[in-house]
Structure 1
């Protein structure tokens, strides 16, 4: 008979953004009971009534709490961008999504042979040279990247989506057991999410096996993303002597980036004078491009996950079936698998 697993209670609680005190109050239990139930070696099994309370509050099925140990993720290895601004609840919920991603990744690997990891360690390189080296390694040349999510997946990086409704969790990445993972917040604009994917790729190659937190590290990842998405030689080849904002808008569609990302990159690459840069920034701000773009870009999603789910569905293994097999709510799975807007019930 399966035993109650404290690590699973903790995961469900953190995914719902609850402290132990909050869970105790909502479940009608004492704080001491919750503390005891989350200890590595729980001394006594929760009653059926207590489990029913956990199901009611946390919206996870009862069987979830009796599975195998949940693989942990060391927060120090996760590339959170705004760690100082994040609450402990936000950090715990985001890491919880990563733990669910590990479970789903293992599930897929039971059925399919997925692309092997194809990354190089570029620690010690400048962001510009690292971006160029990785493009060369992947034989991308200087062409625009059609789909960042698919590019990462083709090279063995596990990519999942997030539904964290907070600006503090843009995206994050980490290494685990020799595998690389990236989680992208689907609440962001398509251009921002694409840039986030390149940013996290920068962390994976520049800061392998542990991402020291800090502003300098984030600047490096941003500079890598900018150089990776918009190669310097292409920016300079545009040769706009008197660049207008409308001309910049045309160019941004070539690289599928935001207006401000392109303006910044043009200045960084030496294609704009300080005066030109300031004028473009002022005009772009006046026209509202800090909040929205001139055209809505289609959001990138995982092509591999789509293929895997289609193949499983052919055998009758639909998302609700996977939900029951893993005892993970359908809503959690849909949020992880780029299935936005699907039902959120268990």
Structure 2
């Protein structure tokens, strides 16, 4: 029996406390705020529901469904259980993002994972082919080892020398789900969640820069390859992911001889166009590969700041690369008569939120008057 066929009593019997927590965090609500939204459920009851001490009645679930704007069937236990201990994301800085914002972002990513699992019931997605390092790298792992890991990842995936044509398409071809969505979380930058079955990279939709977005995707790939969930949020982990991204996008043997030894702007602009990498990342790469010495590197950064290029560089590379895997999978399903709305109903997924994740506006024809 699918979720869509269940009534409130059935859902109450199948109630999964984690689903209530995810729905609440999706709306950015505390337990007290959710109780206030329902108008009749106490915060103590919400807490007991989420702790698994009691189950809500069918009538209470209806009130929660309305308050949280999710289908009643969303509260039923999913066919495939969530990751033990909940999802852990690799966020750039735990200090600059509030727990509420992180939880809301993670809730959206868990919806993306569930959508992928639902789609996979009808359409074969690319098999996951992620060369995870076991055991994960440690704080003592040096930059030379990270350079090697980045090159081994390129080799494993059969990426030819030189610039990568489309970073997002590359990771999606190897079974990693990528999403780009804007949910009003300005302080949440790109992040990733290393689900064992379908790792997900979430990119910020308001970072309208192709070069920086490519670097973000490669940075998150670095986390998925190198790090365990327990390492999330440390400066050392972030530095290692930066080093991986730089080496993955700009292999030392391919770019070393092209990099200038000083702030040669025409050359750097040419390389930005060729490698689809920011001037800032090219300068950092030149220093890391000892093409620039420390003095030239410092002068380059001062000049970059003086020109105001640290915030907005010259050289427009066009629109950021776009995730396509989930949208194409849904298109294929619809070609075989499996409607988008049917897939959502089967999984009890909230349509408006899924459309945000897919950047797929409502496709019903509108009446013009």
- How far apart are the structure 2 equivalents of 1:284 and 1:58? 47
Q: Quick check: 147-156 or 75-84, which moved more?
A: 75-84
Change (3 A) 1:76 1:35: closer
Contact 1:203 1:211 in 2 (8 A): no
Change (3 A) 1:74 1:195: farther
- How far apart are the structure 1 equivalents of 2:337 and 2:345? 13
Q: Quick check: 13-22 or 197-206, which moved more?
A: 197-206
Cα shift readout 1:66-101 (whole Å, capped 9, x = no counterpart): 453762463684322212333221222122123212
Other-structure match for 1:117? 128
Q: SS at the partner of 2:192?
A: strand
Q: SS at the partner of 1:233?
A: helix
Cα shift readout 1:254-282 (whole Å, capped 9, x = no counterpart): 22222212221122122223333233323
Aligned length: 340
Cα shift readout 1:193-232 (whole Å, capped 9, x = no counterpart): 2212111111122114643541111101111111111112
Other-structure match for 1:220? 240
2:201 aligned residue (166, 169, 182): 182
Cα shift readout 1:309-335 (whole Å, capped 9, x = no counterpart): 221232344444433333322231123
Structure 1 segment 272-311 matched on structure 2, within 5 A: 272-294=292-314, 295-311=316-332
Other-structure match for 1:2? 10
* TM-score (norm: length of structure 1): 0.87
* TM-score (norm: length of structure 2): 0.82
Change (3 A) 1:237 1:289: same
Contact 2:261 2:293 in 1 (8 A): no
Q: SS at the partner of 1:18?
A: coil
Following superposition, the deviation at residue 341 of structure 1 comes to 5.5
Change (3 A) 1:340 1:296: farther
Contact 1:186 1:193 in 2 (8 A): no
Contact 1:72 1:99 in 2 (8 A): no
Greater RCO structure (CA 8 Å; 6+ sep)? 2
- How far apart are the structure 1 equivalents of 2:346 and 2:184? 27
- How far apart are the structure 1 equivalents of 2:362 and 2:26? 18
- How far apart are the structure 1 equivalents of 2:54 and 2:211? 46
Other-structure match for 2:184? 165
- How far apart are the structure 2 equivalents of 1:30 and 1:239? 63
Other-structure match for 1:42? 54
Contact 2:220 2:241 in 1 (8 A): yes
Runs of 5+ unmatched residues, structure 2: 1-8, 364-369
Q: Quick check: 175-184 or 293-302, which moved more?
A: 175-184
Contact 1:334 1:340 in 2 (8 A): yes
Runs of 5+ unmatched residues, structure 1: none
Other-structure match for 1:82? 93
Structure 1 segment 85-164 matched on structure 2, within 5 A: 85-122=96-133, 123-124=136-137, 126-164=145-183
1:267 aligned residue (287, 298, 307): 287
Q: Quick check: 59-68 or 244-253, which moved more?
A: 59-68
Other-structure match for 2:44? 32
- RMSD of the TM alignment (CA)? 2.7
